[in-house]
Structure 1
Amino acid sequence: MLNFSIMQAEGILLLKPSAPLSKEDFGNLSADVDAYLSEHGKLHGVMVHAKGFPGWENFGAFTAHMHFVREHHKQVKRIAMVTDTPLAGIAELLAKHFTSAEIRHFPFADDIKALEWLRGV
């Protein structure tokens, strides 16, 4: 399950995965992000905030995730990975191959610092 919201004024997408991600999660996410991008053109940042990564329900969910990244990565300036999972470093390295966005890892408890970084403060 992927909970998300867009901070409209700041142009920041907040992602909070809490259970294995589904194809429907990315369909819903794409619809809202596409609507925002049609008005604003880009996202200043994306925050992924999770204690750990819950994985995907199935291969269809994984491919929907990759499709979302491919379709939207050029419209994102910064990505904050806010998590304590030991896989964060690997995820950060892999993500750099799929996006030109600046990516930074923050401990799970430092979501405020991550948000300030996304805002450019």
Structure 2
Amino acid sequence: MSIQFDEENGDKVLVIHVSGTLVKADYEQFMPEVERLIRQHGKLRLLFDMTDFHGWESSAAWEDFKFGIEHFTDIERLAMVGEKQWQHGMAILCKPFTKATVRYFDHADAAEARKWLIEE
């Protein structure tokens, strides 16, 4: 599994590329970085790029759920970019667990996702 971070637009936009299968240890890397940016900038806008993403191990799914609860109001916009139908469904399922405005974009529309994130 791989997580790669890119900070954009004055660090208010965080691009997270995930691939393979997320495991609990991935959240140990991910969580402190996101929490640092929240402390530094307030609400964030996230682009969650799921290209070649296969899902979570059960312990990682629990960490993901806890992250959503802990940061319910810290994410302003969430653009989920994927290539599979289940990823689009995941974007719909996550909406009740965040105050963020959530939109799904097909991988071919990743540039549009970035544009949406930086709009006022």
Q: Same fold (TM over 0.5)?
A: yes
CA distance in 2, matches of 1:5, 1:71: 22
Gap regions ≥5 residues in structure 2:
none
Relative to the length of structure 2, the TM-score reads 0.88
SS at match of 2:72: helix
Quote the residue 2:34 is aligned against: 33
Kindly provide the CA deviation profile for residues 58-104 of structure 1, in whole angstroms up to 9, marking residues without a partner as x. 32111111111211231111111111211133212211111121111
Say what the alpha-carbon RMSD is for the aligned residues: 1.7
Kept in 2: contact 1:3–1:18 (CA 8 A)? no
Quote the residue 1:46 is aligned against: 46
Cα deviation, residue 21, structure 1: 0.2
**Structure with the bigger percentage of strand:** 2
Task: State, as a whole percentage, how many aligned pairs show the same letter.
Answer: 29
Gap regions ≥5 residues in structure 1:
none
CA distance in 1, matches of 2:75, 2:100: 6
- Give the length in aligned residue pairs: 119
Kept in 2: contact 1:78–1:118 (CA 8 A)? yes
Is the aligned partner of 1:88 residue 2:87?
A: yes
Kept in 1: contact 2:79–2:102 (CA 8 A)? yes
Residue pairs, 1:1-121, within 5 angstroms = 1=1, 2-7=3-8, 9-43=10-44, 45-56=45-56, 58-120=57-119
